[in-house]
């Protein structure tokens, strides 16, 4: 297998290093912005150098972002090259374009590192959906948020301090919005649902709330009542109806999610025969992520393409009700649903998830956390 790497940052460089020890997969060309020199691969700056090279059969996209990643990946597929990517934003946003195109062109497309980094989560979903129906997927899918919440709970830090610490440890980016507003988790749960349930879920129907408004007082209130706050994604398929959402969630002590430390991930599925299966590990980082990109390349050599057939377009309808902790807002709607007070905050009676997220959109500064009696 002769490959081209698109991008030579955290992930691309890691893939290059791991492949240096594998004779049967060779990195022929690397596309990056900087002028670097590599001993055994040609560095270029124009995608046509890859498209026009018949010796390159497979492309690894590790540039990130939507553009020009989408145009590059699409052009490579049109040119008959197999694609492996770690870019969840790309696959989630252009699912309806990329997955049918792979079938049409007869090329192999995989993206295991896009969800769970080093955890073989998507490849496990691929196996587990054979011979049983999967009814639920979700969990802790973002190491940055888990680190911040862990540092606030275990080390007693405020939000800004915990974020700074995550940045200094390399767990959070200088511009952390995609992680802390839950967008990264949102991409991941949509992609997981598409594969687990064999559908194409409309991203606009999946509500998301992040952790950026949490404060030390919230964490103290949760700890006093035996809860740990985690950013949890949930998606389910029951009787042909779909639910999916991302939100801060109060997990009771004793649930595995409550114990997930530092920047780790814990993702789980529920299957009709297997029951709950959970996977714990590093959801990011150069070598854990690159390891899964290389696993995808090895799967390609065995002829494995995408994890599930491309399925029908569906919408999530989240009418299931949960109790919510709400701080930083008071209005008639909230008062009419209030069941108790936790200090300055209100805890609601059970409210439909969609209704709560619609209300939250108009509330600047409010923080919500769902109270989970039970997760999967």
Ligand X SMILES: NC(=O)c1ccc[n+]([C@@H]2O[C@H](COP(=O)([O-])OP(=O)(O)OC[C@H]3O[C@@H](n4cnc5c(N)ncnc54)[C@H](OP(=O)(O)O)[C@@H]3O)[C@@H](O)[C@H]2O)c1
Chain residues that interact with ligand X, rule: CB under 6 A: 7-12, 31-34, 62-64, 68, 86-88, 113, 117, 284-285, 289
Q: What angle do CA 8, 172, 232 make, to 5 degrees?
A: 115
Q: Which is nearer to ligand X, 89 or 151 (CB)?
A: 89
CA–CA distance, 181 with 167 (Å, rounded to integer) = 16
Which positions ≥6 away from 291 have C-beta within 8 Å? 14, 18, 118
Any idea which residue has 């080093």 for tokens?
118
In the sheet where 109-110 sits, what is the strand order? 42-44, 26-31, 2-6, 58-61, 82-85, 109-110
Smallest CA-to-CA distance from 356 within 212, 248, 255, 251 is with 248
Active-site entry in 88, 188, 230, 313: 188
Q: Which residue is nearest to ligand X (CB)?
A: 9
* Residues 294/114, Cβ–Cβ less than 8 Å: no
Q: Exposed/middle/buried for 238, CB within 10 Å: 0-12, 13-18, 19+?
A: exposed
Smallest CA-to-CA distance from 88 within 169, 189, 239, 224 is with 189
Any idea which residue has 């020890």 for tokens?
21
* Catalytic (active site) residue 88: no
- Supply the minimum distance, in Å, between the C-beta of residue 357 and ligand X: 24
Distance of CA 338 to the CA centre of its chain: 32
SS3 content of the chain, % helix, strand, coil (to 5): 35, 25, 35
Q: Which is nearer to ligand X, 10 or 352 (CB)?
A: 10
* Residues 139/265, Cβ–Cβ less than 8 Å: yes
- Supply the minimum distance, in Å, between the C-beta of residue 148 and ligand X: 16
Backbone φ, ψ for residue 167 (5° rounding) = -70, -40
Smallest CA-to-CA distance from 289 within 61, 57, 93 is with 61
- Supply the minimum distance, in Å, between the C-beta of residue 117 and ligand X: 4
- Is residue 116 left, alpha or beta, with left meaning phi > 0 and alpha meaning psi from -120 to 50? left
- Supply the minimum distance, in Å, between the C-beta of residue 58 and ligand X: 17
Asked whether the bond before 68 is cis by omega within 30 degrees of 0, the reply is yes
- Supply the minimum distance, in Å, between the C-beta of residue 178 and ligand X: 9
Kindly list the catalytic residues.
Answer: 188
């Amino acid at each position: 297998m002769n490959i081209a790497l698109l991008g030579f940052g955290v992930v691309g460089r890691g893939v290059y290093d791991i492949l240096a020890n594998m004779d049967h997969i060779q990195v022929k060309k690397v596309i990056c912005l900087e002028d670097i020199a590599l001993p055994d691969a040609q560095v270029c700056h124009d995608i046509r150098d890859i498209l026009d090279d018949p010796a390159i059969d497979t492309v690894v996209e590790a540039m990130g972002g939507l553009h020009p990643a989408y145009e590059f990946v699409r052009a490579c597929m049109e040119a008959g090259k197999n694609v492996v990517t770690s870019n969840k934003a790309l696959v989630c946003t252009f699912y309806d374009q990329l997955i049918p195109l792979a079938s049409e062109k007869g090329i192999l497309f995989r993206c295991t590192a896009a969800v769970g980094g080093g955890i073989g989560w998507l490849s496990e979903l691929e196996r587990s959906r054979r011979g049983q129906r999967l009814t639920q997927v979700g969990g802790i899918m973002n190491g940055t948020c888990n680190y911040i919440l862990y540092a606030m709970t275990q080390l007693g830090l405020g939000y800004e301090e915990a974020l700074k610490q995550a940045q200094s440890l390399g767990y959070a980016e200088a511009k952390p919005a995609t992680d802390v507003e839950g967008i990264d988790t949102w991409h991941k749960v949509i992609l997981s649902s598409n594969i687990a349930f064999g559908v194409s879920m409309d991203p606009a129907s999946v509500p998301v709330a992040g952790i950026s408004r949490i404060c030390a007082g919230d964490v103290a209130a949760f700890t006093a009542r035996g809860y740990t706050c985690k950013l949890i994604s949930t998606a389910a398929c029951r009787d042909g109806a779909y639910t999916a959402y991302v939100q801060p969630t109060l997990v009771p002590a004793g649930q595995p999610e409550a114990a997930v430390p530092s920047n780790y991930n814990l993702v789980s599925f529920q299957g009709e025969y297997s029951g709950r299966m959970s996977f714990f590990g590093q959801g990011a980082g150069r070598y854990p992520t690159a390891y899964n990109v290389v696993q995808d390349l090895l799967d390609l050599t065995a002829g494995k393409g995408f994890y599930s057939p491309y399925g029908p377009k569906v919408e999530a309808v989240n009418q299931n009700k949960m109790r919510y902790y709400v701080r930083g807002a008071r209005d008639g709607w909230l008062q009419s649903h209030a069941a108790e007070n936790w200090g300055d905050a209100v805890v609601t009676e059970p409210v439909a998830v969609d209704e709560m997220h619609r209300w939250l959109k108009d509330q600047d500064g409010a923080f919500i956390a769902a109270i989970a009696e039970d997760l999967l």
